[in-house]
Chains A and B, each alone.
Chain A
């Protein structure tokens, strides 16, 4: 396991010298490619922060128990430039997350694909908010 970790991160070591921005952090250390998951839950909070945004959602298990999860997404800044705002993903929205679970076993995941439970459409689809024109320009 330790060897594998080092092999996977050999890339990260070389990245010290030339960091491609899409791999500015070692996701392989944070999330486990052997633990793909699919979550369906209700958005409780959308943290519009950098370097990654985080969607908090309440996921109801088969036993009816609610578990809060947090799901990592991209920098929100381009969303802002495309007219999206903090109102674009309201609390109470039901979404589906396809992603990978945290390596340390926490209820945390990276969201490789985010869709609305209602109609399967991707979140922030089309790259521009409907009626975008915000921020004064």
Chain B
């Protein structure tokens, strides 16, 4: 092939640069930017919605402490390393929870007395969002105008109303949930939560003004991204957010099993009222 004339060569070079630049732009468009997950196309249910059916569970340390934290001694010495806090990177976006000063003091007091005060010890329902990331699976049963979220821990259940939003007559442990779709994300507006639950075992707490907006988005064949925006003007100086993946329980024939847990909390709650108090603190 004859060597191109100078003019042709510079035009060729210019177009080559354009072509390479164009290819680079195309590549950048399809490659995920480091800040966001790939846009996974969720499979759809037969009525055309993203399919969230399944048994899901968090795999992180959020139930111990939702903030970034190091490993630390648990509240019961005789349980040793079997019930001490593992370190966690935290699930709170930005790291810290924006407590009002007096509210931050109350969290510290909760932590100091957590064995007595943590509702989990008493088998009280976990509320929202804690039930999502307790170390037990939960199941999403996806109907059309209603979804049921069933939690293994304490047999808690939430009915998510997908029709026109309704109002709660009173507060409850698991709140009142109105849901809608934003594209392939399920958005659940949770109100009327009582003030009895915690966010974790570290005493992070809220008032009865708590308002949670959750988002559930499929990010892969066996994972969901869970986000919860927390709003409680009595306790926090501003809104804040937590975020974590939830993983599908993939074993064959995975199912929720009973953990009513009332039977396991009776000794701690009523043992002091026994006719004959038990000796010692273990079996």
Whether A76 lies near B170 (C-beta < 8 A) is yes
A86 in the interface (beta carbon within 8 A) = yes
**Chain A residues positioned under 8 Å from B283 (CB to CB):** none
Closest chain A residue, CB of each to CB of B173: A49
A134 in the interface (beta carbon within 8 A) = yes
**Chain A residues positioned under 8 Å from B34 (CB to CB):** none
* In the complex, chain A residues 8-56 whose Cβ is within 8 Å of any chain B Cβ: 48
**Chain A residues positioned under 8 Å from B164 (CB to CB):** 136
A100 in the interface (beta carbon within 8 A) = no
A119 in the interface (beta carbon within 8 A) = no
Give CA–CA (A136, B169) in the complex, Å. Answer: 11
**Chain A residues positioned under 8 Å from B166 (CB to CB):** 135-136
Interface size class of B (residues with CB under 8 A): under 10
B171 in the interface (beta carbon within 8 A) = yes
Give CA–CA (A85, B167) in the complex, Å. Answer: 10
Whether B167 lies near A80 (C-beta < 8 A) is no
**Chain A residues positioned under 8 Å from B171 (CB to CB):** 48, 86
Render B165-177 as a binary contact track against A, CB cut-off 8 A, 1 for contact: 0110111000000
Whether A48 lies near B167 (C-beta < 8 A) is no
Closest chain B residue, CB of each to CB of A84: B169
Give CA–CA (A134, B168) in the complex, Å. Answer: 9
Closest chain B residue, CB of each to CB of A48: B170
Whether B167 lies near A135 (C-beta < 8 A) is yes
Give CA–CA (A135, B169) in the complex, Å. Answer: 7
Closest chain B residue, CB of each to CB of A134: B169
Q: How far is the CB of A30 from chain B (nearest CB, A)?
A: 13
Give CA–CA (A66, B171) in the complex, Å. Answer: 28
Q: How far is the CB of B177 from chain A (nearest CB, A)?
A: 13
Closest chain B residue, CB of each to CB of A80: B169
Closest chain A residue, CB of each to CB of B165: A136
**Chain A residues positioned under 8 Å from B169 (CB to CB):** 48, 79-80, 84-86, 134-135
Whether B167 lies near A134 (C-beta < 8 A) is yes
**Chain B residues positioned under 8 Å from A136 (CB to CB):** 164, 166-167
* In the complex, chain A residues 56-109 whose Cβ is within 8 Å of any chain B Cβ: 76, 79-80, 84-86
**Chain B residues positioned under 8 Å from A85 (CB to CB):** 169-170
Give CA–CA (A134, B192) in the complex, Å. Answer: 15
**Chain B residues positioned under 8 Å from A48 (CB to CB):** 169-171
Closest chain A residue, CB of each to CB of B164: A136
Give CA–CA (A1, B166) in the complex, Å. Answer: 52
Q: How far is the CB of B195 from chain A (nearest CB, A)?
A: 12
**Chain A residues positioned under 8 Å from B167 (CB to CB):** 134-136
Contacts beyond the supplied A85-B169, A86-B169, A135-B167: 10 A-B pairs with Cβ under 8 Å: A48-B170, A48-B171, A80-B170, A84-B169, A86-B170, A86-B171, A135-B166, A135-B169, A136-B164, A136-B166
- In the A-B complex, the 4 residue pairs with the smallest Cβ-Cβ separation, listed nearest first, are A136-B166, A85-B169, A86-B170, A80-B169
For this complex, 16 residue pairs linking A to B, each with C-beta atoms less than 8 Å apart, are A48-B170, A48-B171, A76-B170, A79-B169, A80-B170, A84-B169, A85-B169, A85-B170, A86-B169, A86-B170, A86-B171, A134-B167, A134-B169, A135-B166, A136-B166, A136-B167
